[in-house]
Each structure stands twice: as structure tokens, then as C-alpha cells.
Amino acid sequence: MAYPTRLCFPECCVFDKSTILTWMMLMPILGGIFILLIPNPQARIARTVAMAFCVATFLLSLLAARLFDWSMVGEYGKSIQFAQDYIWIRSLNVHYFVGVDGLSMPFVLLTTFISVLACWASYGINKSVKGYFALLLFLLAGMIGVFVSLDLLLFYIFFEVSLFPMYFLIGIWGGPRKEYAAIKFFLYTLLGSIGILIVILGLWHHTHGVGGRVATFDLIQLATDPALSGLFRSGGAAVGFASLAFWLLFIGFAVKIPSVPLHTWLPDAHVEAPTPISMILAAVLLKMGGYGLLRISYPLFPQQAAENWWWVALIGVFSIIYGALVAMAQKDFKRLVAYSSVSHMGFVVLGIAVMTPAGTAGAMFQMLAHGISSAMMFFIVGIIYDRAHHREIPRLGGLWSQMPAYTGWAVVGFFASMGLPGLCGFIGEIMVLMGTFGAADANSHLMLMTGGAALRPLLWFGVLTAASIILTAAYLLWTLQRVYMGAPKPEYHHFPGLSGSEKWILVTLGVTAIVMGVLPMLVLDPIRPAIESVLRLVGT
Amino acid sequence: MEMPNLLPSYQQIEPFLPEVALIAATLAVLLIPVFSPRKNILAVAITTTVGLAVALIGLIYTRSLAMTGHTYFGGMLVLDPFAWFVKLLLIIFTGLVMALWFVDSHRRMVSRGQSGDAPEFFTLLLAATTGMMLMTGTTNLLMMFLALEMSSLPSYVLAGFRKTHRPGAEAALKYVLFGAASSAIMLYGMSLLFGLFGTLDLAAMHPHNLMDANRIVLVVGVVGLLVGIGFKIAMVPVHFWCPDVFEGTSIDITTWLSVASKAAGLALLMRVLTLLMHGGDSGDAWMRWLPIALLILGGITCFWGNLGAYPQQNIKRLLAFSSIVHSGYMLVALAAVIMPGEIVDGGETAQMIKGPAADALLFYLFMYVFMNAGAFMTAAAIAQRIATPTSSGERLDDYAGLARRAPILAGAMLLFCLSLTGMPLTIGFATKIKLFSVLYNTGQGIGWIGVGVVGINTVMGAFYYFRIIKQMYLVQTDLPRVIEIAPATVLSLVLAVPNVAFFLGYNWIDEVAHRHCAISLSLPAEQLPQSAQADVSHR
């Protein structure tokens, strides 16, 4: 194995290449504790400290990306870098095993990047700043932990632990129905994650004693060790468990993504959450679902994934269309953006379900692109809400003449979300479509698995998805028209222009969206080897 | 003419030093008011502490004896690793309850100018604890009944200990009536079992000894036994006393009933189940129905407890329902894993059996002591700090904005709520892992059903634990900050530490539980049924 670099106490605290991930998680935790220790900090001090730690974490992730060997290709798990693995709970064989590969590194970058912007966007928060920024930093640590853990129990712990800060951030700093939204968010995710825990412990149980092995939570070993992964393929000892496990995992991650019909927590959580928290929720937390599918479900249960592809793809397509239609009916601007997230994340599910290189790469790209565009959209909504103190689309209008610079960047955000060629949304959607139609090729994995029966559903899914892009354009353009165009309204005359921080956050996100749209290979080339390694496990 | 020696020898008494110490302390505390002024709290405190300390030392002293497993007094009493460990938990926990009484109830009563009735309180507490300790180590039906009653009768009085408190009196009455009814049912069941087997010793209740193969009578007998023990652990449908009593009594008694009474009851249940199921080892399916019945009862207990907790407005009532749910979890686990385990050699007199169920139960009980007692003690500390003349400080509404009013106590309560929910990094999560893994290890459908029941109930439970968290952290209040520095706060923080520390020390607890999970089969090897002997020699 390439990864077991076992480190124990003092070595693990030395800062070097192998401990960079641990430091990346420690940095925000230290920052949070530091803020909590300041007695009665002024808002200015708390947010400066928080920003400093966010930026430091971001710089660490940039350093990691710089040190990361992007050209490293290999089997799933062989290209793990910055690995750190030492035993934590001996009787359960739980390891503190962290590491990144091409699949997780982009998400780590996205997380730290969005966190800096969200922290910056939090400068307007005045209510108990100390708690707010400490929770924000703890949330950041938890999110990084989810993306870097390679031990399943460790993954689960981070997955759960990242819920608490979110619960409090929505519940304390949220809007009028914050308590309802916070507990709904929490219970939905908990419902899904208990299923994940059951699967994780089941995997652990089934690997006990196989060929003299110790029961393990090691994701890489579970996915690549033929004796272990064979358990869950046809003829294996645990194949009955595997089909249940695939669905339990899928439900757990589908809540997070969120896929229809498990999406109903999302609009409530978004509407009540403060703007920066919405940005993080849409940009990072939803990605944990898609990442979980790619990282855990598909590598561990490829056969079940292929057998159930139709249902998974159907859920994806249904989410795309349903999300778009419901978004169209919304009067609350933020709710509309929330439903558009449901629709966009449907592409991710579809792209993963079809199991083609283009589809999976498209799903991956779509997640990253949505991370940028949804954060931007929520920020755009937040700017209006700060000024108008409401988000009702029918009451808005004519903002273009009052706030031209803002509207300019808002248009970039809208088009990025809509998938206009040249912007980030386009690449992900078109690649998922190409992947879907590509899966209809006679030699594709799905066609071979199903003996050609997948052809007709695949074409239908492709056509429906392509058609749904019209719906996306319809609700977004219609919103653009109602909010920004039309005669200027007198009650909005006093609106100040963009503040410095608002402008720079919009510019940063907008430029990223453009760069990703124009130069997609900047993202696609580095993630390709990792995606291929996942698909090789799947069997294509 | 030589008189038969009716007095037990020291060799026979030695293993029960802890019980003897507690009985001596009970009598001493009872006599204190005779010799000293009524309000001599100090003497009571010292006597009780010394009694518990001697009991603890005696227990440690008997450890080596316990580890090999012995029966005494013609099979009336048993000392084995399992009983030893539960006794250890009981003594430590009673010490905690004593501390809680001094920092909470006593202070409150003194501030109202009442005497606090310390001698009576501790007489009852110690007597009941002795009864519970006897419950953990007996296989004889008669002794079982006596031990149960010995722990129950003082508990009834303790439940109504606040003489001027109307709800408390009502709860105590309810407790007595339910207790009497379930005792009667249990006695009936026991008499049926006696009739069937011609013996009072559970260890000898084996298909070979069955005098009449009437299955219905057997089932009724065992169910009667289950009802009597189930009453102690608040198993649905004999749980109705639990919320009322927990709400009506002072919080130290609530804590004590929710943990000690339950631990002793579960230990007894564990022993009964092990012995009954071990009889099934002979290839006869005579007790095959028992795990299924237990699973159903455990599942109903979980759901009932969770649903009952939703509308509760009183923190003690809510935690009462939460403790019913935890009983349910333990029952589900027991049901699924109560299969005969590994038979180990237990020294010269007895064979012992090491089953996964006893292992898991000890692990769970150990963790449960810290979660549940912590939650109750924090509730006591909070009530003490925020109570006003018009409110008891025990209603959820009183918790509004507690994070601002009492950040330390709110933080402790948050931790205990997360622990009871089973969130990562707390011991509640450790118990969830343990539960799921023992359920998986059965590799049977019944284990999967158990997994489903526990999974669904975990999510259901989160809802009301988060109601407490919501009140404390999400709801705003204008009420002023309270002074948090108090002995009760220290006690709750002392219990908060293990809630995280023992998750990290999972290995250690797991090993300790495993080392002590051996249950004595209590009959000398030559009296074991043939099949079991063959089993032993086979291993």
C-alpha cells in the first residue's frame, strides 16, 4: 500500500507535508477556541480574527494544492496524498486516517474558498458575534474533515459533527421561522445519517474475519481489497446486505444533496438562514451528498449501483424537472434560488447514475460550478434583502437603474446558474448530458450490464433533461426581468450602491464562474485520473 | 448433644462484606436520632459515607473471589464477575446520589427551615441499595422476590418522601399500587414455575427437569417473572408509574430510580434470561419464543417512550420518558443477542457463561450511568439556580434563554442531551456503536429488526432532546444572569467529563465490560445437564 504512514504523538504535530490536512482542520478549531477565549470581544475584533483564521486555512489549502501531485494517476486509493493514518479506537479498529486525492482536493479548495467569502459576507452580523464566528470556524473544520477522512467512522463523525454548528447558525441567527427550519434541517439529515451509520457498522461487521482480516472501517481497503469488495458482489457472502446498504447510503446522501422527495428541508433552511450561512449550505454542505456517492457508495457497491441505475437516474431527472417547476412558482426570491439548487443538484445525481467518464466528470464539475454559482446567487439575494428587508419578487423591480454595478454582476450570476455557454454552469450540464447520451452507446457499462435494456430509458432521460434547460432559463430569466428590469420604483431610490466588501465578493465569485466556464480544463484535467479510478472500480 | 450450626461461618459471609457493611450503615443511620439531636446531619453524612466506603473496599476485597464465580447458602446467593461489576456501579452511583442530596435537596429544605429528615432518607436509600445489590446475585426465585421487595418497599417511601408535596404523594401511591400488582403477578408466575419444575432454583430449570410439559403454563410463568422485573426497569406496559414518580419526587430520588433501580433490574433480567436460554442450549427450542417476545416488548418500549416524551413540558418527566427509551434499547439488544455464549471455567464450584448480551449490557449500563445521571443532576443544578417562588425551574419554559443566563450549566445540559441522542464524540455514540455491532453480530433477522428499531428511535429521540437545546440556545429571554457557582454545578461538571472522556476510552470500557461479563451458571459442574457438560469438554 502506498499510504500507511503511521504517525504518533510528537511527529503528528510537526508541520510538514504529511500533516498539512490535520493542520487545515486544526487551524479553524484553534481560531474558534481563540475567539471564545476573548472576553466580550468587539464585533470588529471577532470578525477580524475569524477572517484571519479563514484566510490562513485557505492559504494552507492553496499550499496543499501547490504541493499536490496532480499528475499522479493510479488505482483508487493509490493516489492518496498527504495521508496520515494512525489507530484511534483499538477495539473497533477505528483509524484517524486522512488523505486527499483528485476527488477530494477540489472540494477542500472549494470549502476553504467559500468559507473566506462567507466570513467576509458576515461582516454585517451584529448579534452575539463571538458565538457566530466561533461556530463558523468549527463548521469549516467539520466540512474539511468530511472531505479528507478516509476512515468510514471518522467520516461519519465529521458528517454529524458538521451538523451542530449549522443547527445553531440557522437557529440563532436565522429569520422568523428559524427554530422550525433548524430542527427540520437537523432531523432530516440525522434520519439519513443514521442509515449511513448502520451501513458503516454493517460493513465493519461483514469484514470481520474475512481471510483472517480484522474488521475494518478503512474505505480504501474496503473498496480495493478483492477479498473484501468481493463480499458485496454477486456470489459474495454479504450481497443481501449490500443491496440494502446501497439504498440506505443513497438515502443518507440524497437528503444532503438534496434529491426530491427528500428535499423539503432545504427551502426552509435557506430561507431562514442568514446570507453567509446560505452560501456555505448551498456551496459546500450539499456537495457532501454528491461527494459521498462518489467516494463511498459507488466504489463500495458498484454492482448494486449498476443494478439500480434506473432508479437513481430517475430521481436525478425528477429532481431537475420538479425543482425547476417549483422554482418557477416561487414568490420569495431566496426560496426560488433554493429550489434551483434542487434542480441543479439533480444533474449531479444523473451524471453519477449513468456511470460514464463524461457523466461522472460532469457531475463533479457541476458540483464545483454549483458551489460557485449558488453561493453567488444567495449573495445576490442577500444584498437585496439587506436593503429592501423583504424578498418578494412581485414587490421588487427596476433595480437596474438604481444599482447598475450590482445588476451587472447579478446577471453574471444568473447566467452562470442558468448554464450559459462560457460560464461555469454550462460545462457541468452539457457534460452530464453528453454522459447520459454516451451511456446509450452499445459498449457503455450500463448497456453491457443491462443487455441493452438501458437504451430507451437513457434516451428519455437525456431528452427530458435537455428539455428542462428551457425551464431553468424560463424561471431565471423571468426572475431577472421581474427583479431588475421594468420601471424604477420610488421606494427603492434610496438604495445605496455596493459596499466595498459586497463588490469584491461578487467580483471574486463572478470571475471564478467565468474562468471555470472558459477554461474548464483547469478543473477537469486534475480530476480526471481520480474519476477514472472510481469508474475502474465500478467496472467500466 | 451438638447444636446444628445455624449461624453462617465467616467464609460464607466474607463474599458479602459490601452488603453487610450497607446493612450495618443502615441500622447505624437509623439509630442516630436516638442518640443525637435531630438535626445532626454531620453524623448521618459520616455514617453513610463510611458505610459506602467500607462497602466499596469490601467489594474490591472480594474481587478475586468474584472473578471465579461461587454460589453460597445452598444456591441462594451467587457471586460472579457480572454481579460484582453491577454492584460496583451501584455503590459508586449511590455515593453520587448522596452527594446530590446534600448539594440540592438538603440545602433547599434547610433554606426553608425544614430539618431535611436526613436519617430517614439515608436509612431508606441504603436499605434499597442493599436490596438492589442482592438482586444482582441470585438465581433462587424466593431470594429474587425478597431482593426485589427489599429494593421496592423503601423506594415507595422515598417516592413519597416529600410529605407535603401533593403530586409526590400521588406518584408514590401509584408506584405502590403498580408495584404491588406486578409483584403479585410475579409471585404467581414464580409459583407456576415452581409447580412445573419442583425447584426454586432457576439454574435447575431445564427441559430435562420439566415435570409437566404444559407449554402454556411455562409461558405464563416466565411472563409473570418478566412483568415483575419489567416493572423495575419501566418496561412497557408496566411503565406507567415512571413519569409520575419521576416528576413527583425530588430530583435525587428520580436520578437514583432512573439509574440504580434500572441497573439492578436489568442485571437480574440478564441473569434470568441467561439461565433460561442456557436451558435451550440442549437443542430443545423451549425458549425460542423468549427473544422474540423481548424484542417486541423492547421495540414497543422504545416507541412508547419516544412518543410519550413529545408533549412533555417538565424536564424530569421528559427525562423519565427518555430513560424508558433507553430501557427499550437495552431490551432490544438483549433480545437479539441473548444466545448462549462461551462457557468458561469458573474455578472449583461453578461454570460460567460469557455471552455477548452481558458484555453489551455492562458496557451500556456503565455509559448510561454517566449520561442519564448527568442529565438529571444538571437538571437539578439548573432548577436550583433558576427556581423562583412561582416556578420550580423544572419546566421547559423556564429553560428559555438559559445559554445566556447560565452558560456553564446550559453547556453541560447540551452535552448530556447530545450524549443521550447518541451524537459522535460522546459516550452516547459509543453505546450506539456497541448496540449496532452486537445486533449485527447475531447475523439474523431479529438483529436486523433491532437495528431498524434503534435507528428509527434515535431520530425520534433527537427531536425532544433538541427541544431542550432549542429552549436553551435559540429562545431569547430578558431574565438576568444567574450565579452559577454552586456545589451542584460542580457535580454536574464532574459528570460531564466522562461523557467525552469515555468515548475516547472506548477500548478500556469495552475491555472492562468484557472481563466482567461472565455469569455463573450457579450449579456445580456435576449437576450440569449432560449436554452442557459435553459442551464444556468439547471446548
Using H for helix, E for strand and C for coil, what is the string for A411-456? Answer: HHHHHHHHCCCCCHHHHHHHHHHHHHHHCCCCCCHHHHHHCCCCHH
Contact B423/A179, CB-based, under 8 Å? no
Mapped onto helix, strand or coil, the DSSP state of residue B390 is coil
Nearest to B441 among A92, A186, A205 (CB): A205
CA distance B120 to B160: 12
Reported as a single tens digit per residue, the pLDDT across A274-296 is 999 999 999 999 999 999 999 99
Q: Which residues pair with B520 in a beta bridge?
A: B352
Residue B537 in this model has a pLDDT that exceeds 80: no
Q: Are the C-beta atoms of A119 and A133 separated by less than 8 Å?
A: yes
DSSP string, A272-304: HS-HHHHHHIIIIIHHHHHHHIIIIIHHH-HHH
Q: Is residue A162 part of a domain?
A: no
- When pLDDT is cut at 50, 70 and 90, the band that residue A111 belongs to is very high
CA proximity to B305, closest of B464, B448, B413: B464
Q: Is residue A22 part of a domain?
A: no
Which residue, among B302, B453, B506, would best test binding to A if mutated, counting the most A CBs under 10 Å from its CB? B506
**Of A117-126, A206-215, B31-40, minimum mean pLDDT range:** B31-40
Nearest to B507 among A90, A160, A178 (CB): A90
Q: What is the CA radius of gyration of chain B?
A: 23
Chain A, residues 135-154, CB within 8 A of chain B, namely 153
CA proximity to A25, closest of A87, A85, A98, A116: A98
Distance from CA of B459 to the nearest CA of A (A): 6
A91 or A392: which leads in pLDDT: A392
- Check whether the bond before B237 is cis (ω within 30° of 0): yes
A91 in reach of chain B (CB within 8 A): yes
Mean pLDDT of chain B: 83
Contact A179/B459, CB-based, under 8 Å? no
- Contact list in B for residue A202 (CB cut-off 8 A) is 440
Which residue, among A168, A190, A199, would best test binding to B if mutated, counting the most B CBs under 10 Å from its CB? A190
Q: Which three cell numbers stand for residue B325?
A: 427509551
Mean pLDDT of A67-88: 80
- When pLDDT is cut at 50, 70 and 90, the band that residue A124 belongs to is confident
Q: Give the residue on A whose Cα is nearest the Cα of B401.
A: A172
- Contact list in B for residue A194 (CB cut-off 8 A) is 455-456, 458-459
Residue A75 in this model has a pLDDT that exceeds 80: no
What letter does residue B479 receive in the DSSP assignment?
A: P
CA distance A485 to A473: 16
CA distance B513 to B365: 10
Chains A, B: CB contacts within 8 A come to: 70
B387 or B457: which leads in pLDDT: B457
A86 in reach of chain B (CB within 8 A): no
CA distance B19 to B1: 34
CA proximity to A137, closest of A39, A219, A24: A24
Nearest to B436 among A168, A186, A201 (CB): A201
A156 in reach of chain B (CB within 8 A): yes
Reported as a single tens digit per residue, the pLDDT across B91-143 is 999 998 888 888 887 777 777 766 667 788 889 999 999 999 999 988 889 99
Q: Hey, CA dihedral for A112, A115, A117, A119, is it positive or negative?
A: negative
Q: Which three cell numbers stand for residue B457?
A: 428511535
Domain ranges in chain B are 18-538
Contact A160/B510, CB-based, under 8 Å? no
B160 or B3: which leads in pLDDT: B160
| CA B171 from centre of chain | 20
pLDDT at residue A266 in the model:
92
What is the span of the domain harbouring residue A420? 310-540
Contact B424/A161, CB-based, under 8 Å? yes
CA distance A412 to A398: 17
Residue B188 in this model has a pLDDT that exceeds 80: yes
- Contact list in B for residue A183 (CB cut-off 8 A) is 463, 466, 470
Q: Give the residue on A whose Cα is nearest the Cα of B465.
A: A183
CA distance A343 to A373: 13
Q: Is residue A53 part of a domain?
A: no
Residue B42 in this model has a pLDDT that exceeds 90: no
Q: Are the C-beta atoms of A54 and A112 separated by less than 8 Å?
A: yes
Class of residue A235 by CB neighbours under 10 A (exposed 0-12, middle 13-18, buried 19+): exposed
Q: Which three cell numbers stand for residue B247?
A: 416528576
Contact B459/A187, CB-based, under 8 Å? yes
Contact B511/A89, CB-based, under 8 Å? no
Contact B432/A197, CB-based, under 8 Å? yes
pLDDT at residue A4 in the model:
43
CA proximity to A461, closest of A442, A444, A437, A431: A437
- When pLDDT is cut at 50, 70 and 90, the band that residue B532 belongs to is very low
CA distance A89 to A76: 25
Percent of chain B residues past pLDDT 70, beyond the cut:
90
A251 in reach of chain B (CB within 8 A): no
Residue B63 in this model has a pLDDT that exceeds 90: no
CA distance A119 to A134: 11
Contact B433/A172, CB-based, under 8 Å? no
Q: Which three cell numbers stand for residue A35?
A: 475567539
Distance from CA of B440 to the nearest CA of A (A): 7
pLDDT at residue A5 in the model:
46
Which residues, 6+ apart, have CB-to-CB distance to A444 below 8 Å? A355, A356, A438, A540
> What residue type is B454 in one-letter code?
V
Contact A179/B474, CB-based, under 8 Å? yes
For A390, other C-beta atoms within 10 Å of its C-beta total: 12
Q: Give the residue on A whose Cα is nearest the Cα of B454.
A: A194
Mean pLDDT of B287-312: 88
CA distance B253 to B101: 9
Which residue, among B404, B454, B474, B503, would best test binding to A if mutated, counting the most A CBs under 10 Å from its CB? B474
Residue A16 in this model has a pLDDT that exceeds 90: no
Mean pLDDT of chain A: 87
CA proximity to A139, closest of A106, A173, A98: A173
Q: Is residue A206 part of a domain?
A: no
Alpha carbon separation from A179 to A170, A171, A174, A330, B457 (Å, rounded): 8, 5, 8, 22, 22
Residue B484 in this model has a pLDDT that exceeds 60: yes
Number of folded domains in chain A? 1
CA distance A298 to A295: 7
Residue A59 in this model has a pLDDT that exceeds 90: yes
Q: Give the residue on A whose Cα is nearest the Cα of B456.
A: A191
CA distance B182 to A498: 74
CA distance A131 to B86: 42
Residue B539 in this model has a pLDDT that exceeds 50: no
A40 in reach of chain B (CB within 8 A): no
pLDDT at residue B56 in the model:
93
Distance from CA of B483 to the nearest CA of A (A): 18
pLDDT at residue B113 in the model:
67
Q: Which residues pair with B246 in a beta bridge?
A: none
- Contact list in B for residue A204 (CB cut-off 8 A) is 437
**Of A316-320, A376-380, B58-62, B499-503, minimum mean pLDDT range:** B499-503
pLDDT at residue A432 in the model:
93
Reported as a single tens digit per residue, the pLDDT across A186-195 is 999 999 999 9
pLDDT at residue B538 in the model:
36
Which residues in B have their CB inside 8 Å of a CB on A?
Answer: 418, 423-425, 429, 432-433, 436-437, 440-441, 451, 455-456, 458-459, 462-463, 466, 470, 473-475, 504, 506-507, 510-511
Reported as a single tens digit per residue, the pLDDT across B234-273 is 888 888 888 888 888 888 888 888 889 889 999 999 888 8
Q: Is residue A352 part of a domain?
A: yes
Q: Is residue A456 part of a domain?
A: yes
> What residue type is B9 in one-letter code?
S
For B142, other C-beta atoms within 10 Å of its C-beta total: 13
Contact B437/A183, CB-based, under 8 Å? no
Q: Is residue A30 part of a domain?
A: no
Q: Give the residue on B whose Cα is nearest the Cα of A189.
A: B459
**Of A42-46, A198-202, A309-313, B525-529, minimum mean pLDDT range:** B525-529
pLDDT at residue B4 in the model:
61
Q: Are the C-beta atoms of A187 and B463 separated by less than 8 Å?
A: yes
- Contact list in B for residue A190 (CB cut-off 8 A) is 458-459, 462
Percent of chain B residues past pLDDT 90, beyond the cut:
26
Which residue, among A37, A127, A154, A201, would best test binding to B if mutated, counting the most B CBs under 10 Å from its CB? A201
What letter does residue A212 receive in the DSSP assignment?
A: G
Chain A, residues 183-222, CB within 8 A of chain B, namely 183, 186-187, 190-191, 194-195, 197-198, 201-202, 204-205
- Contact list in A for residue B474 (CB cut-off 8 A) is 168, 171-172, 178-179, 182
Contact A91/B507, CB-based, under 8 Å? yes
pLDDT at residue B524 in the model:
47
Contact B463/A187, CB-based, under 8 Å? yes
